[in-house]
Amino acid sequence: MRRLRDTDGRDQHKRAARGHMGKLTLGGSAIHQTLHAEMKVRYESLKERERAHDDAKDAAVEASAICDFTEQMLENVIRDIDADLGKLDRAEPERNARATVFPEGFGKEIDPDGASQLDNLPTLRGRIEQVGPHPVVTETLAKFDAAVETFKTALKSEESAEALEESLFQEELQARKAIREQLEVAYGKLRAHYKANPRKAEDFFLREGSRRKPK
């Protein structure tokens, strides 16, 4: 019997299970019917978990793209704030607004990626407030807060989607394991059934070098 490894993919597991099931249909006795039914449950379980994992993986890709986009939006808002404060400095140079908010330039604020970018945002907001009361500051804070909240929401969605994908992938791995275990159980039972010629059990499993190659 060709034994599957835990490193074999979903297709190898499905092929081994389906091949085993197909051969069992020709066995002609109750044990073959029982083993067929037992493997069918595990085969269908693997397919179901594959679909769930694939759907979760697609959702995680979408969530990641949304998160990337909202991060870019936040960075663009920070760039706009820099430009708006430059205009305020020209109108009221005594405020020294741009240097107050971006003492090392706005580039330092947008360099971090992903969740690490959140670490700098409270301090940045505090520096915006230090510019003092002004319509530009009020508008700037409103834009900044909206962009930050949108990014935080997207980041949480991405983290949740990735966690779900990983959880469902682990379920798929368990479903593959169940197929490997069932193949071993069936092999043992068939050898016992054909105790006069235990090698006949091999006929009900895919063999090494099977004539049909996986695509």
pLDDT confidence of 214, banded at 50, 70, 90? very low
Q: What is the pLDDT of residues 70-79, one digit of tens each?
A: 999 999 999 9
How many structural domains comprise the chain?
A: 1
Is 81 contained in some domain? yes
In whole angstroms, give the CA distance from residue 50 to residue 202. 28
Q: pLDDT tens digit string along 79-91? A: 999 999 999 999 9
* Greatest alpha-carbon span in the chain: 100
When pLDDT is averaged across residues 36-61 and rounded to a whole number, the result is: 98
> 136 pLDDT band (50/70/90 cuts)?
very high
Whether residue 194 is contained in a domain is answered as yes
State mean pLDDT over 108-137.
92
- Quote the domain boundaries for residue 107: 10-204
Question: Is 211 inside any structural domain?
Answer: no
- Under a CB-based contact definition with an 8 Å cutoff, are residues 17 and 2 in contact? no
First-to-last alpha carbon distance for the chain, in angstroms, is 21
Buried b or exposed e, range 163-183, using 16+ CB within 10 angstroms = ebbeebbebbeebbebbbebb
Single-letter amino acid, residue 64: S
Query: What percentage of the chain reaches a pLDDT higher than 90?
Result: 88
The reply to whether 38 falls in a domain is yes
Q: What is the distance between the alpha carbons of residues 144 and 150, in angstroms, rounded to a whole number? A: 10
Measured distance CA(106)–CA(110) in Å, rounded: 7
Rounded to the nearest integer, the mean pLDDT of the chain is 94
Nearest C-alpha neighbor of 203 from the set 26, 13, 40, 18: 26
pLDDT digits (tens, 9 = 90+) for 161-192: 999 999 999 999 999 999 999 999 999 999 99
Amino acid code (one letter) for 181: E
Question: CA nearest 72: which of 19, 7, 151?
Answer: 151
pTM: 0.82
Residue for token pair 């090392």:
104
Q: Is residue 214 part of a domain?
A: no
Mean pLDDT within 92-109: 94
SS3 label, residue 197: coil
User: Is position 5 within any domain?
Assistant: no
**pLDDT score at 208:** 64
- Banded model confidence at residue 2, pLDDT cuts 50, 70, 90: confident
136 part of a folded domain: yes
What pLDDT score was predicted for residue 191? Answer: 96
Does 1 fall in a domain? no
Residue 210: what pLDDT?
52
Backbone angles phi, psi at 209, to 5 degrees: 70, 30
